[in-house]
């Protein structure tokens, strides 16, 4: 499935043709990236079933958590020198990917702007725990960006996300020249008038349909509420590396003999990362 709106979806057949489909009944369990079984019904199609997923990502609002992309090979998070990115949002995206078993990379965009070094230093803890950070200027050095990204995207389904203004749309249009035309075509097919920013879409990067880019809604919708509070430390590599504590069920908040808090005091875990851990844990286990 390549995109959806409400109970209507665009499904791509094995020959590359696309058809608008709907699900049976009122409940909709399909997400972009799903492999589905469907049958023709007049000019449209009916989705009969969804094949088992390799992984699943979620978004959330004030009221509920909802799945929105499946069968992803890697996550590519675009942040920038300007506007200054939220480390909390970045951390949440990486935690969600870790929970789903999806490898992650980060692009630090707008390398040519003043303030680059300061934002690079903010990413030092992520580099230290093994996250690859690519420093690019997507708008003003597009050829370099294509050359560096091409081998990383080859043969993979890459989910790309980032906050407004970071350069995510520039990246998508750089790698998928017909992205805007495809979006308009899909919108017309589903009679949605215009495509909303909450819609996730699947684009092929090559004629062989072996490499794909999945464009996504904003950071603010990334969901973590499906994670158990006791899982959280294990999903943050720097926290996990120091979770050698006196108590097996240590929350890393107040217990004596806590390896994580000792590592924070020693500077082995950054204050900002520990603050993010405490914030998220409080959300997952309020009170």
Binding-site residues for Zn(2+): 245, 250, 252, 258
The per-residue DSSP string of 220-281 comes to GGB--TTS-GGGGGGGSHHHHTT---SSTT--SSS-TT-HHHHHHHHTSS-HHHHHHHHHHH
Residues 219 and 226: their CA atoms lie apart, in Å, by 17
Residue 47, H or E segment: strand 44-50
Cis peptide before 41 (omega within 30 of 0): no
Q: How many helices (H) and strands (E) does the chain have?
A: 9, 13
Tell how far CA 34 is from the center of its chain. 16
Contact in structure between 81 and 110 (CB atoms under 8 Å): yes
Residues 2 and 34: their CA atoms lie apart, in Å, by 8
Q: Determine how β-strand 201-204 pairs with β-strand 157-161.
A: unpaired
Binding residues: 109-112, 162-170, 245, 250, 252, 258
Residue 7, H or E segment: none
Binding residues for GTP: 109-112, 162-170
Contact in structure between 38 and 11 (CB atoms under 8 Å): yes
- Residue (of 121, 69, 120, 123) closest to 91 by Cα position: 123
Residue 143, H or E segment: helix 142-153
């Amino acid at each position: 499935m390549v995109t959806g709106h409400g109970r209507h979806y665009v499904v791509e057949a094995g020959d590359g043709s696309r058809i608008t489909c709907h699900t049976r009944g009122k409940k909709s369990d399909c997400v972009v990236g799903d492999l589905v079984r469907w049958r023709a019904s007049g000019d449209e199609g009916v989705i009969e079933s969804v094949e088992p997923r390799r992984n699943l990502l979620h978004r959330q609002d004030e009221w509920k958590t909802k799945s929105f992309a499946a069968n992803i090979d890697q996550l590519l998070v675009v942040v920038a020198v300007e506007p200054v990115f939220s480390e909390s949002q970045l951390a949440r995206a990486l935690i969600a990917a870790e929970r789903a078993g999806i490898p992650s990379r980060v692009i630090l965009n707008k390398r040519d702007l003043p303030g680059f070094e300061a934002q690079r230093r903010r990413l030092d803890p992520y580099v230290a725990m093994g996250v690859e950070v690519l420093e690019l200027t997507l708008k003003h050095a597009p050829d370099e960006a294509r050359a560096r990204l091409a081998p990383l995207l080859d043969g993979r389904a890459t989910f790309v996300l980032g906050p407004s203004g970071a350069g995510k749309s520039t990246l998508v249009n750089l790698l998928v020249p017909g992205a805007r035309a495809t979006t308009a075509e899909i919108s017309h097919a589903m009679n949605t008038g215009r495509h909303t920013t909450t819609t996730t879409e699947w684009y092929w990067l090559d004629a062989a349909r072996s490499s794909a880019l999945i464009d996504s809604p904003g950071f603010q919708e990334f969901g973590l509420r499906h994670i158990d509070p006791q899982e959280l430390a294990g999903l943050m590599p720097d926290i996990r590396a120091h979770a050698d504590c006196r108590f097996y069920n240590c929350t890393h908040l107040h217990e004596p003999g806590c390896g994580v808090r000792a590592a924070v005091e020693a500077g082995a875990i950054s204050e900002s990362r520990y603050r993010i851990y405490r914030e998220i844990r409080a959300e997952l286990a309020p009170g």
